[in-house]
Amino acid sequence: MRNIGIAAGGTFLWVILFIKAQTINFSQHHQYLSNLHQLQETDATLNTDILQAQQESFNDPETILNDLSQIDDLHHNLEDIPDFVNREYYPELKSALQQNRSLFQDKQVLIEELIEQETILNQSLKFLPNTIQKLSSQAATEPDADQLINQLNTLLNDVLIYTLSPSDELIIKIQRQMAAIRQRVDVLTASSTLSLSELDAALIYAEIIVTHESQVDSLVLQILELPTEQQSEQILDIYQHSYQVFLRKTKIYRILFYVVSGLIAATLFIVLIAKTQQLTKNLQKCEEKYRISFDDSVEGIFKITPGGRFLTANNTLATIYGYASAEELCNNLINLNRQLYVQPNRHDELIRVLEKYGSVSDFESQVYRKNGTKIWIEEKARAVRDKHGNFIYYEGTVEDITVRKAWQEALHYEQEQGERLLLNILPKVIAQRLKQLESTIADNFEEVTVLFADIVGFTELSARFPPAQVVELLNRIFSAFDELSDYYGLEKIKTIGDAYMVVGGLPTPRPDHAEATANMALDMQQVITKFNNQNNQTLSIRIGINTGPVVAGVIGIKKFSYDLWGDTVNIASRMESQGLPDKIQVTEFTYKKLQDNYLFEERGTIQVKGKGKMTTYFLKGKIH
């Protein structure tokens, strides 16, 4: 009855504090905050998808359109501003939302234009080679057309190179080639087998490619320069400031509410939520750092002999390796194994792969920059051979992936942190099964020993101390109990208020579960004695132990816990609640398992609620 009264009083206090702290609709607040974070994340994803789609020639713009649709939905949801935002901040927040939506509308217009331009560019890239191939077939029987076909093939090659690495010099070269081709077309005889319409089409496709490639790059730059990220951050700042101002008005009630909630719901679950939120923030920061680096990066392009001498390189590659120009790079890097790659003979490994397979992608290496610092790069290359099959050089691209490597290492670290936190909540074997997505985790154990303990006098102590000091004192006691459970190989199940529950013999069965539990019970009495001496207190502990079968498993899908069920658990709880302060009361079954090695005092027959009369014993100590 006493425990029921304490629980009822605690529940009543929790309800009162909950009502006082609910001046803000936290559900509405968390949903609005989630929408703001999703807006930032989706905008970052949209920019990444645009760059990714540009590399893949916009073969599938559906992902980008889905991002835009999701952003539009989020804007619609954000129009429903939470009620607690007062008149001072409401107009400012509303105006910022309207500006943000207008920016995204501008962004959508640019994206739609980008997709349209990319579609035209892709069609021209598809039709230009086909048209030149047709003309080559037509010229097979017409000797006079060979030079024209060679010019067309040269034009095709330069146009394709331009799509990979645009430059003003290449544009001028292409324009001159097109003018020369037009002059040659004009002198073709009427009897020529070449189709003049096909020739005109080839020139038109080439001109479209050159024109639209620069337009596409310009549109991508315009899209990425729109300050949507800063606008979204401004909205979040306004909202958070409004929230903090209002929150301060109910600070006392919230503090008391969180303290009581932490005692009832268990501190570990609050820590789990905080760690999960921190993990999400850290991942977002890492992702943002990588996205910024990716937005600003341009791949280096090269041609290198199998012996490791640069034939050509662009200025981007020179910048990656720390040189002022491509010319300086080519003149100074003459032995890649020794000068460039950190790992010895790494260049030789690359050559072996190219000789065997003809191409390589995602070839990651650590290299030295000119100043001696180390960076990570990723190479994509293909072998180029002469008509006899001899390997003459290889060409490809280089990307600086140093930031990506750091992001991956940070992600791996955070995943390990999350795993360790999960193991603080659940037994290791249960956590492993939960990660394997088992739908139901419930196991029968034929015999375990269950211990319940209650700190007598802690309620009176709580009334004399501030809440924060009460939590600190209880944490010291329970931390000592946790160390004992680890020492004896027992499984802590839960704490409720000042009550503590532990079990021996699961999730991994062991024959000495009763002995281990008895040893911990005796040591728990010593913990309370030591605590009283150090803090000048008069607390005592009441412990109940029972042995028998139980069912153990994980319940719930949110804030899940590992718990026990069965008559054995209920009787162990009765042993504690109907026990005496500073006594360890055990059932007759437990007594029989321990009587040869432990000292007992028979209490006699007591009336146990729900079970009738039972003979119980007090555990006094071990037989030495």
Concatenating the DSSP letter of every residue in 366-413 gives EEE-TTS-EEEEEEEEEEEE-TT--EEEEEEEEEE-HHHHHHHHHHHH
Q: What percent of the chain has pLDDT over 90?
A: 30
* Closest alpha carbon to 525 in 455, 449, 448: 455
Task: Out of 15-24, 231-240, 285-294, 540-549, pick the least confident.
Answer: 285-294
What are the start-end ranges of the H helices in 397-512? 402-425, 428-435, 458-464, 467-487
Contact between residue 77 and residue 101 where contact means Cβ atoms under 8 Å apart: no
Task: Out of 187-191, 272-276, 301-305, pick the least confident.
Answer: 187-191
Domain 25-225 shares a fold with domain 300-406: no
For helices 168-186 and 196-225, the axis angle rounded to 10 degrees is: 160
Residue found under tokens 């989706």? 42
Going by C-beta distance under 8 Å and a sequence separation of 6 or more, which residues neighbour residue 505? 445, 447, 448, 449, 513
User: Can you tell me the mean pLDDT for 133-149?
Assistant: 70
Q: 426-622: what fold?
A: Alpha-Beta Plaits (3.30.70)
Residue 469: its pLDDT value, please? 85
CA distances from 600 to 76, 319, 487, 548, 624 (A): 71, 81, 24, 20, 14
pLDDT over 60 (residue 479) = yes
Burial class (CB in 10 A: 0-12, 13-18, 19+), 412: exposed
User: Can you tell me the mean pLDDT for 391-420?
Assistant: 81
Dihedral angle computed from the Cα positions of residues 618, 621, 622 and 623, in that order, rounded to the nearest 10 degrees = -90
Report residue 542 as tokens.
Answer: 């009441």
Residue 42: its pLDDT value, please? 81
> What letter would DSSP give residue 141?
G
Q: What CATH number was assigned to the domain covering residues 300-406? A: 3.30.450.20
Pick the most confident of 110-124, 286-300, 401-415, 439-453: 439-453
Cα–Cα distance for residue pair 163/232, rounded to 1 Å = 34
* Closest alpha carbon to 499 in 541, 463, 468, 461: 541
For helices 146-164 and 168-186, the axis angle rounded to 10 degrees is: 160
User: Can you tell me the mean pLDDT for 433-447?
Assistant: 69
Q: Binning pLDDT at 50, 70 and 90, where does residue 272 land?
A: low
Cα–Cα distance for residue pair 481/451, rounded to 1 Å = 12
Residue 287: its pLDDT value, please? 53
What residue ranges in 36-133 does DSSP mark as E strands?
A: none
* Closest alpha carbon to 614 in 599, 622, 624, 603: 603
Cα–Cα distance for residue pair 309/302, rounded to 1 Å = 11
Report residue 600 as tokens.
Answer: 């007992």
Q: Binning pLDDT at 50, 70 and 90, where does residue 63 land?
A: confident
Of the two residues 187 and 463, the one the predictor is more confident about is: 463
Q: Binning pLDDT at 50, 70 and 90, where does residue 294 land?
A: very low
The β-bridge relationship of strands 612-622 and 584-587 is antiparallel
| Type of residue at 86 | N
Q: Does domain 25-225 have CATH number 2.60.40?
A: no
Residue 327: its pLDDT value, please? 92
Cα–Cα distance for residue pair 77/541, rounded to 1 Å = 54
Radius of gyration of the chain (CA): 37
Of the two residues 587 and 44, the one the predictor is more confident about is: 587
User: Can you tell me the mean pLDDT for 224-234?
Assistant: 80
Residue ranges covered by each domain of the chain: 25-225, 300-406, 426-622
pLDDT over 70 (residue 295) = no
Task: Out of 69-83, 399-413, 435-449, pick the least confident.
Answer: 435-449
Going by C-beta distance under 8 Å and a sequence separation of 6 or more, which residues neighbour residue 150? none
Q: Binning pLDDT at 50, 70 and 90, where does residue 523 land?
A: very high
User: Can you tell me the mean pLDDT for 555-577?
Assistant: 82
Cα–Cα distance for residue pair 21/26, rounded to 1 Å = 9
Global confidence as pTM: 0.39
Task: Out of 5-19, 147-161, 178-192, 607-621, pick the least confident.
Answer: 5-19
Pick the most confident of 2-11, 192-201, 242-251, 566-575: 566-575
Residue found under tokens 């109940």? 544
> What letter would DSSP give residue 599?
E
Length of the chain: 624
Report residue 167 as tokens.
Answer: 């430059």
